[in-house]
Structure 1
Amino acid sequence: MGLRDAWVDLLLGGSCAGCARPGVTLCLGCRAELAALTPFPAAPTPVPPGFPPATACAPYEGVLRRLLLEHKEHARYALAEPLGRTLATAVAAAISPGRAAWLCPIPSARATVRARGHEPLRRIAIVAARHLSENGYDVRLAAALKLLRRPADQAGLSAQERIANVEGVFGVRSRWAETLTTQPVLLVDDVLTTGSTLSQAAGALETTGIAVLGSAVLAATRRHATPGS
């Protein structure tokens, strides 16, 4: 957490985003819980066609779920740092040691970004890429995907409805199409639910000749493979 965030917490009387205890934005206990997470393979049931193999940091519950919601919906910007470092562990587990990769985050609709005042996943992905680079990984960020239309809110939709909702929703930005054609790309997202979003994103990239290694997510809902399952 930066000095500015610490000063705001001190001045306004902040609380931990993970456990709500009075104090700093993220207490030592919740930081330790994030640091102890072990990435694992996660897959939706059923697996949609074209789903890129996913690595998740944890099930979508507990401290991680609360941090994601606080960062996304309540613009607690300081959480991008610990969330980005957490995502970096999933990325590191998803790529072979010593292998280079471009990280391609799933984009948000412009209206959603305006409403929230920021683009949460992009902020997290920037931190993840920086942290990995500082630790010897040849990883860079590629904002290669764009939305061709704004999908409806996925909340409450069935698996089949989610697939239909995001079908054909992604395109590839022209300036990235040639750059990434011979480069390995890893998709990144915050939460894995039915896998429809990642499948459509991978399909859009692959139709332009871009190889998708897989995907890395912060959390996966309990309908997915979890540690020890």
Structure 2
Amino acid sequence: MRGWWREIAGLVLPVACGGCGRPRTELCPRCREELAGPGPRRVRPVPEPAGLPVVHASAPYADAVRSVLLAHKERGALSLAGPLGSALAGAVEAAAGRCDASGTRPLLLVPVPSSRSSVRARGHDPTRRIALAAAGRLRSRGRAARVIPVLRQRRAVADQSGLGARGRFANLAGALEVVAGGARLMQGGRVVLVDDLMTTGASLTEAARALSAVHLPFIRARSEGTAENGTPERAFVRAAAAVVACSPSSFEINRN
């Protein structure tokens, strides 16, 4: 219900820029430009955890970008999902392009799941909302894309905000799993893990581990369309990753 009330309130109450507070605009041109950042780039946290997929981000997590993400996530500025989704869409294309240069396979955006308690407290799932906006933007550019929420938490986890890097990894280790039937949904597409923010990389590392534990069945076909020996083969799901923002230092390490 909180999500509905926030959307209704956004139609009737005065708005202010989610980045700088400028009145009568949800996002001013200057903050919109800052959210676009220097363009999608590969980023690496320091230290880079083993098992972290290749991650692309659109903007450093600072100043207006930080304010916009917090306004959407914590203060219910749901209209900001659109510009945040646009930023994420660019990072998704950059991440997918490394392994699918032809662009023929549909992009399958897999959101890192929020805990049920966080969703209840906020009244919405910010990562999933941004992912849906990103998929819509990708489709408007002519790229097949959809969101498939195939990850779920298999056990309770603590709030990550109060934990250091080591605590975050311990908190999330083994916490995620793929839902029943998830492998079927991932067939034939380019899987990209998505999140709003990367700090230590713990969430994306655990999400990638959960996906890599799943076998993706397929039949290797000959050119005439018949299966070779009729023998099913299986491959592990391998995902790239994309986020709206990450620590500025994660960008800086890639400059040289």
* TM-score, normalised by the number of residues in structure 1: 0.90
Partner of 1:71: 72
Aligned-partner residue type, residue 84 of structure 2: L
Q: Is the 8 A contact 1:181 1:211 kept in 2?
A: no
Residues of 1 paired with 2:49 and 2:179: CA distance? 24
Q: Which region of structure 1 is more displaced relative to structure 2, 75-84 or 181-190?
A: 181-190
Q: Is the 8 A contact 2:37 2:59 kept in 1?
A: no
Cα distance, 1:59 vs structure 2:
1.1
Cα distance, 1:160 vs structure 2:
1.6
Cα distance, 1:150 vs structure 2:
2.3
Residues of 2 paired with 1:150 and 1:37: CA distance? 37
Partner of 2:139: 133
Cα distance, 1:93 vs structure 2:
1.1
Q: Is the 8 A contact 1:9 1:24 kept in 2?
A: no
Q: Is the 8 A contact 1:56 1:220 kept in 2?
A: yes
Gaps of 5+ in 1: none
Cα distance, 1:183 vs structure 2:
4.0
Q: Which entry has the higher C-alpha Rg, 1 or 2? A: 2
Per the alignment, do residues 9 and 106 of structure 1 end up closer, same or farther by CA in structure 2, a change over 3 Å counting?
closer
Residues of 2 paired with 1:47 and 1:14: CA distance? 39
Q: Which region of structure 1 is more displaced relative to structure 2, 180-189 or 110-119?
A: 180-189
Is 1:177 the counterpart of 2:178? The answer is no
Residues of 1 paired with 2:24 and 2:73: CA distance? 20
Q: Is the 8 A contact 2:154 2:176 kept in 1?
A: yes
Specify the SS of the correspondent of 1:225. Answer: helix
Partner of 1:26: 27
Partner of 1:119: 125
Q: Is the 8 A contact 1:193 1:220 kept in 2?
A: yes
Pairing 1:62-211 to 2, within 5 Å after superposition: 62-96=63-97, 97=101, 98-100=103-105, 101-180=107-186, 183-209=189-215, 210-211=236-237
Aligned-partner residue type, residue 87 of structure 2: T
Q: Which region of structure 1 is more displaced relative to structure 2, 82-91 or 9-18?
A: 9-18
Cα distance, 1:181 vs structure 2:
5.0
Per the alignment, do residues 114 and 169 of structure 1 end up closer, same or farther by CA in structure 2, a change over 3 Å counting?
same
Percent identity reads 42
Residues of 2 paired with 1:145 and 1:208: CA distance? 11
Gaps of 5+ in 2: 1-5, 216-235
Residues of 2 paired with 1:63 and 1:8: CA distance? 23
Per the alignment, do residues 135 and 76 of structure 1 end up closer, same or farther by CA in structure 2, a change over 3 Å counting?
same
Partner of 2:50: 49
Q: Which region of structure 1 is more displaced relative to structure 2, 180-189 or 213-222?
A: 180-189
Is 1:16 the counterpart of 2:1? The answer is no
Q: Is the 8 A contact 1:103 1:142 kept in 2?
A: yes
Aligned-partner residue type, residue 80 of structure 1: A
Per the alignment, do residues 169 and 68 of structure 1 end up closer, same or farther by CA in structure 2, a change over 3 Å counting?
same
Specify the SS of the correspondent of 2:161. Answer: coil
Over the aligned positions, Cα root-mean-square deviation in angstroms equals: 2.2
Q: Is the 8 A contact 1:57 1:90 kept in 2?
A: yes
Residues of 1 paired with 2:204 and 2:36: CA distance? 26
Q: Is the 8 A contact 1:183 1:211 kept in 2?
A: no
Cα distance, 1:78 vs structure 2:
0.5
Per the alignment, do residues 139 and 13 of structure 1 end up closer, same or farther by CA in structure 2, a change over 3 Å counting?
closer
* TM-score, normalised by the number of residues in structure 2: 0.81
Aligned-partner residue type, residue 87 of structure 1: L
